[in-house]
Chains A and B, each alone.
Chain A
């Protein structure tokens, strides 16, 4: 957890500005490409037949924004959305969310709206929500119009982009847009999930600083 706080050091010793860490959660129907978006963003990979999420549901990736390094701690649903069994823990302390739907499937757009409502009910009132219309590479089979989604996003104060995990279109951009919109002042930014507790580690001894950043 050494990366969680403090200022980054450049090799020559000068400080590089602050690092802010944010918890970002993914939501959306099964098979809309949530994991694919993350894999593209974090590892630059895409697998046509990505298996249902197994074994990698906690990834981190950093973005540099002017003098600030934004570190995303990305939570995937691990399939728990399938029978509506996502735990409250999932939303807890999330500062950003990407709600994903598949532009070739109208139902997934309807479900996306339900997830947005769920976020507004369960998550922090200051959460930054982005709507991603994924599988833009299949635009010839489009069932959800760009304008329809855009209007909905505007009405609800969401960021909106159509994305393609396959071609990488708008994938970095949507994370970048979220990073820009997140507050980076001391009080609100980068508190991990609560900012007050301590994470346990193998060789913990003695008191350790709280998991805050942006100090």
Chain B
């Protein structure tokens, strides 16, 4: 450890592993350390099942749960958008070759106490039970407008400037009612609250496009999920970093981040050893004095021996409960994965219900989600603080990621990573740097 590095990365959560990979690929000498014995930090998948029960102080699972090693349970629920930034990162870095994915089978939205399939194309819109006859036509016209919309071609904007006019204006232009606005904004554009209504419509248009482009890629739903759980993602990027010369140390306590003149980071101390470096990248847990609490997220892991009712027995599903439907300010997300993804023993399902905490009783807040699941064999509830850095790292050269938020996908995760990379290196990440070289490996 007593060496000099360009960058030291602390924590092996997904964000830190992507950063580590990007830095190594850019030619930096990287040391990557985790205080835990395992990869993934907050974004690990817990294996075996016994460890999950222990983590939540529950007595060991009985034999009906099958082999403990067949389980890989995520602590944070998320899916990948098939055409989203994480998939682009995976493909461009070649990390995709270490992973296999499955499409999520169904995407549903909650309305008036029951769930309906999210309509995404004209055909589905016309068949959907979410809207009445005339509303369906209006929604169909809206979808066509979004599909034909071209950023660079004002003719497709149809006398509406989406860079200036807000989203509410666009809804009104098509005469969409409250309910339709609700599932469009929350189940297609994936907003967690209604602030977007007052922001330029272009944002929402692009988000709906991402949804439908993702859907077009593999069908069924716009979401992908990795075999063996989300914990495979940080491991894949860690391997990328290692291949490009990154040094890995797990199970290594970090006692101090050492600062020098002008409050600039100069190294990291573990016991008597000091590793020198020019920059440090880390998650909030390594620097409690340089982050602030921004909010709380409640997550409930549910182990079940059946799929979610009314989802056509889908082996993987996402259900979005738009805030207004249950008189809240933020959406509730339900996700389901199962034995088919090698994250549970045969015949088992893992559902996760999560939302941003708004009251003193977080567990009660997720009840509308839990009520959709049918009988639950075992529940594990956790409430975690959500942190953001108070130091942008420009002076200190200490770059801190934000905690994982309540969004159901990885778009904000990648945004944070690319943003940190840019702050740390002063340049955008150059994807072309690696693709070519990695191509040579294949025979």
Seen from chain A, the residues whose Cβ lies within 8 Å of a Cβ on chain B are 42, 52-61, 78-80, 82-85, 87-90, 92, 192-194, 196-202, 204-207, 211
Q: Which of B39, B97, B102, B238 lies in contact with A58, CB distance below 8 A? A: B97
Q: In the docked arrangement, what's the CA distance between A194 and B340, Å?
A: 11
A194-B227 in contact (CB<8A): yes
| Residues of B close to A58: CB separation below 8 A | 94, 97, 243, 441-442
Q: In the docked arrangement, what's the CA distance between A192 and B103, Å?
A: 18
Q: In the docked arrangement, what's the CA distance between A197 and B315, Å?
A: 14
A197-B235 in contact (CB<8A): no
A200-B244 in contact (CB<8A): no
**Binding site secondary structure of chain B:** mixed
Q: Which of A57, A59, A198 lies in contact with B443, CB distance below 8 A? A: A59
A88-B47 in contact (CB<8A): yes
| Residues of B close to A197: CB separation below 8 A | 99-102, 226-227
Q: Is B56 an interface residue (CB 8 A)?
A: no
Asked, given contacts A54-B244, A80-B248, A89-B232, whether A61 binds B443 with beta carbons under 8 Å apart, the answer is yes
A83-B250 in contact (CB<8A): yes
| Residues of A close to B226: CB separation below 8 A | 197
Q: Is B66 an interface residue (CB 8 A)?
A: no
Which of A55, A56, A78, A200 has the largest count of B CB atoms less than 10 A from its CB?
Answer: A200
A60-B228 in contact (CB<8A): no
Q: In the docked arrangement, what's the CA distance between A54 and B244, Å?
A: 5
Q: Which of B90, B98, B227, B248 lies in contact with A85, CB distance below 8 A? A: B248
What are 17 inter-chain pairs, A to B, with CB distance below 8 A? A42-B443, A60-B442, A84-B251, A88-B235, A89-B239, A90-B239, A194-B100, A194-B228, A196-B102, A197-B101, A198-B218, A200-B96, A200-B99, A201-B96, A204-B217, A206-B218, A211-B100
Seen from chain B, the residues whose Cβ lies within 8 Å of a Cβ on chain A are 39, 47, 87, 90-91, 94, 96-103, 216-219, 224, 226-228, 232, 235-236, 238-239, 242-245, 247-252, 340, 342, 437, 441-443
| Residues of A close to B219: CB separation below 8 A | 206-207
Minimum distance in angstroms from B43 CB to a CB of chain A = 13
**Binding site secondary structure of chain A:** loop
Q: Which of B100, B235, B244, B245 lies in contact with A198, CB distance below 8 A? A: B100
| Residues of B close to A193: CB separation below 8 A | 98, 100, 227
Asked, given contacts A54-B244, A56-B441, A79-B247, whether A198 binds B239 with beta carbons under 8 Å apart, the answer is no
Q: Which residue of B lies closest to A79 (CB)?
A: B242
Q: In the docked arrangement, what's the CA distance between A54 and B29, Å?
A: 12
B239-A80 in contact (CB<8A): yes
B239-A199 in contact (CB<8A): no
Asked, given contacts A196-B100, A200-B101, A201-B96, whether A87 binds B243 with beta carbons under 8 Å apart, the answer is no
Minimum distance in angstroms from B129 CB to a CB of chain A = 26
Asked, given contacts A57-B243, A59-B441, A89-B239, whether A199 binds B99 with beta carbons under 8 Å apart, the answer is yes
Q: In the docked arrangement, what's the CA distance between A59 and B219, Å?
A: 32
Q: In the docked arrangement, what's the CA distance between A200 and B243, Å?
A: 20
Q: In the docked arrangement, what's the CA distance between A88 and B38, Å?
A: 9
Minimum distance in angstroms from A33 CB to a CB of chain B = 18
B242-A199 in contact (CB<8A): no
A200-B228 in contact (CB<8A): no
B239-A87 in contact (CB<8A): yes
Q: Which of A59, A79, A89 lies in contact with B235, CB distance below 8 A? A: A89
Q: In the docked arrangement, what's the CA distance between A138 and B187, Å?
A: 66
Minimum distance in angstroms from B102 CB to a CB of chain A = 5
Q: In the docked arrangement, what's the CA distance between A89 and B168, Å?
A: 46
B228-A92 in contact (CB<8A): yes
Q: Which residue of A lies closest to B80 (CB)?
A: A200
Minimum distance in angstroms from B33 CB to a CB of chain A = 9
Q: Which residue of B lies closest to A52 (CB)?
A: B245
B247-A82 in contact (CB<8A): yes
A200-B443 in contact (CB<8A): no
A201-B248 in contact (CB<8A): no
| Residues of B close to A90: CB separation below 8 A | 239
B236-A198 in contact (CB<8A): no
| Residues of B close to A52: CB separation below 8 A | 245
